[in-house]
Amino acid sequence: MPITTVDVDLIISDEDFDEWLGGHVRSGPMQLQPSTWQDSKPARQYALDRVLEALRRRTPPIEYGQLQFPQELSLAVRYGAAEHLYQIAMSTGVESDIYMQQRMLWEMKFNNEISGLTPTLEGGVRGAAGGFAVSRR
């Protein structure tokens, strides 16, 4: 769980996310957002929490307060929120094979974005990109 709660609307708004995903979040033939949600904020917040958790696991750890431009996380949040919405849509049983393929695509993009993310920290210093776990024999 995140140590600091950050409002995801500071990173990307609901309207921007819906437009970026082609209007499929709230309307259209797919309507990925569950009908019980007012907006896509739970999916966007879930993605932001995952991004911040990944940054905290780096060496040295990067905390949200160290970021000079938090908007640099927006693409990772978009990918993660899209993956989360497709994961939820997959559980509906309707066209679940299509949703599964889309979820896998967005999950791959999310993981690639996280591993290559080099946010600008205080003082203009670029954070180190995440690495891959390596095991040696």
Q: What is the reported pTM?
A: 0.84
From the list 12, 111, 112, 125, the residue with the least C-alpha distance to 67 is 125
Dist CA 46 CA 82 (whole Å): 11
Residue from 132, 127, 136 nearest 115 by CA: 132
Q: Where are the domains of the chain?
A: 12-119
Q: Which of 121, 104, 100 is nearest to 112 (CA)?
A: 104
Question: E strands of the chain, at which residues?
Answer: none
Residue 67 and residue 121 in contact, taking contact as beta carbons nearer than 8 Å: yes
Among 40, 80, 106, smallest CA distance to 98 is for 106
Per-residue pLDDT for the chain (137 aa), expressed as one digit of tens each? 444 578 899 899 999 999 998 888 877 667 788 888 999 999 999 999 999 999 999 888 899 989 999 999 999 999 999 999 999 888 877 777 888 898 999 999 999 999 999 898 988 888 777 755 555 56
